[in-house]
């Protein structure tokens, strides 16, 4: 049987990698209009974001072991069919609660694409070729969260939220067709023979590692800041400050750029722990400043400037805390990776609806502050006081 070409795999894996961000972010500009359509509160509408992220968390833990045990192609096809079905159900939802439930299924399906795309790359390539493929996939994963809300902002005013979900449905059809053309990358001889009981024992071992879990929780609290921003910004920018969906999308893109620049800068630190600690401390400072500014009824530009600085601080922690967590569990890297991603999405999903409770300007700032302090506390627990002081005081950047 003829194998897939490298170009085809690059396109397919890139689209699958972008799948999750498009599922969560593309409809963000239409959140306020969805509240009017379903006659629902902002908190109820944000539950759709919450359940999709919980789905992305659950799906990673589910599809990772399934693809190791049964190959990549069959779980991928199952994920794509589930996505099409759940998207159609979202389109025909009669109440906000039906929509929220179907978004959970949509998130689970999106997670299948994310997990399997990385697995296929590891199946097909090694060494330098694998590094190049993962670099391209990583770049796409960085661009997708920026591109998705911009596309959504352009089309929201023209076709509404249902039109956005029709675009997602079309994307799912294209990916389903690509999945049928995809040739299995994991031969039967290389598939996992580990039973489900042994796999769960591996999860228990990883969960028992205190330092690993401290880094995971630090990452999860930082994700809480990110998703509190994602859930609240459409309402604050469009309803409170009165800007258009397109303006929201531009602001979203600029803020995403700050995260990307900070993540790239973090690798220049002499120690990963220094980047994590500096980012956590800065998050606490800027979340407090942002909350006080919101309480004082600040201008849009002060809100945006502080938000940019806050997200930059958060970006300093993402790459470094991930590396530190994975270093703790090298022997269980697959399970550790799945738990790290799942915890981040699950925590973000739990935090998102909280910003819609009461006055969104007050609740958003409060969630920011609680998550920032939680992130710093977990980083200090992971490192210990003595090492934390050492890493924070020593030379920060790598010498050239």
Number of other residues whose CB lies within 10 A of the CB of residue 309:
17
Distance, in Å, from the CA atom of 40 to the CA atom of 97, rounded to the nearest integer, reads: 10
Beta-ladder partners of 397: 269
Distance, in Å, from the CA atom of 126 to the CA atom of 390, rounded to the nearest integer, reads: 37
Q: What is the CA radius of gyration of the chain?
A: 21
Distance, in Å, from the CA atom of 152 to the CA atom of 148, rounded to the nearest integer, reads: 6
Task: Dig out the tokens for 279 from the structure.
Answer: 């980012």
**Helix ranges (DSSP H) in 182-195:** none
CATH 3.40.50.720 fits 204-400, yes or no: no
Angle between helix 31-38 and 127-181 (nearest 10): 30
Distance, in Å, from the CA atom of 32 to the CA atom of 239, rounded to the nearest integer, reads: 8
Task: Dig out the tokens for 258 from the structure.
Answer: 């700050």
Per-residue pLDDT in tens (0 to 9) along the chain, 400 residues: 567 777 788 888 888 877 777 887 788 778 888 888 888 887 788 788 788 888 888 888 888 777 877 888 898 999 999 999 999 999 999 999 999 999 999 989 988 887 787 677 767 776 656 656 665 665 566 567 667 777 777 787 788 888 889 989 998 999 999 989 888 877 777 776 666 666 667 677 888 888 889 988 998 999 889 888 888 888 888 888 888 877 887 888 788 888 878 877 877 777 778 888 889 999 999 999 999 999 988 899 999 999 999 999 988 887 778 778 867 776 665 567 677 777 887 787 788 778 878 788 889 899 999 999 999 999 988 887 556 555 555 545 544 4
The pTM score is 0.70
Q: Which is the CATH superfamily of the domain at 1-193?
A: MFS general substrate transporter like domains (1.20.1250.20)
Residue 258 phi/psi, 5-degree rounding, is: -60, -40
Instruction: Let me know: does 313 contact 262? Beta carbons within 8 Å.
Output: yes
Distance, in Å, from the CA atom of 137 to the CA atom of 142, rounded to the nearest integer, reads: 9
- Three-state SS string over 199-212 comes to HHHHHHHHHCCHHH
Concatenated DSSP letters of 192-245: ----HHHHHHHHHHHHT-HHHHHHHHHHHHHHHHHHHHHHHHHHIIIIIS---H
Number of other residues whose CB lies within 10 A of the CB of residue 400:
4
204-400 and 1-193 share a CATH fold: yes
Task: Return the domain boundaries, the chain.
Answer: 1-193, 204-400
Distance, in Å, from the CA atom of 380 to the CA atom of 396, rounded to the nearest integer, reads: 17
């Amino acid at each position: 049987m003829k194998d897939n070409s490298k170009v085809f795999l690059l396109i397919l894996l890139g689209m699958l990698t972008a799948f999750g961000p498009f599922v969560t972010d593309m409809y963000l500009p239409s959140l306020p209009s969805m509240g009017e359509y379903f006659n629902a509160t902002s908190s109820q509408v944000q539950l759709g974001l919450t359940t999709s992220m919980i789905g992305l968390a659950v799906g990673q833990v589910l599809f990772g072991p399934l693809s190791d045990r049964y190959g990549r192609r069959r779980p991928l096809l199952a994920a794509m069919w589930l996505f099409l079905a759940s998207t159609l159900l979202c389109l025909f939802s009669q109440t906000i609660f039906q929509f929220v439930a179907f978004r959970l299924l949509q998130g689970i399906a999106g997670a299948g694409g994310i997990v399997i795309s990385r697995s296929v790359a590891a199946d097909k390539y090694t060494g330098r070729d694998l590094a190049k493929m993962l670099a391209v996939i990583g770049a796409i994963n960085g661009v997708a969260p920026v591109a998705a809300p911009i596309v959504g902002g352009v089309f929201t005013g023209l076709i509404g939220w249902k039109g956005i979900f029709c675009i997602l449905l079309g994307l799912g059809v294209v990916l389903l067709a690509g999945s049928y053309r995809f040739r299995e990358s994991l031969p039967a001889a290389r598939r996992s023979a580990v039973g489900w009981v042994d796999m769960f024992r591996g999860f228990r071992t990883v969960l028992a590692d205190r330092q690993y879990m401290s880094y995971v929780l630090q990452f999860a609290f930082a994700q809480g800041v990110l998703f509190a921003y994602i859930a609240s910004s459409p309402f604050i920018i469009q309803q409170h400050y009165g800007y258009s969906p397109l303006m929201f999308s531009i602001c979203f893109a600029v803020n995403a750029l700050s995260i990307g620049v900070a993540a790239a800068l973090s690798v220049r630190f002499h120690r990963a722990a220094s980047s994590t600690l500096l980012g956590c401390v800065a998050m606490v400072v800027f979340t407090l400043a942002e909350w006080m500014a919101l309480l004082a009824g600040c201008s849009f530009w002060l809100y945006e400037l502080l938000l940019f600085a806050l997200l930059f601080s958060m970006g300093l922690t993402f790459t470094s805390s991930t590396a530190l967590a994975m270093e703790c569990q090298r022997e269980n890297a697959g399970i550790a990776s799945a738990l790290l991603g799942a915890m981040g999405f699950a925590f973000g999903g739990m935090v998102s609806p909280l910003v819609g409770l009461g006055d969104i300007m007050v609740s958003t700032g409060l969630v920011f502050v609680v998550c920032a302090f939680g992130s710093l506390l977990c980083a200090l627990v992971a490192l210990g006081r003595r090492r934390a002081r050492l890493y924070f005081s020593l030379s920060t950047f790598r010498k050239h």
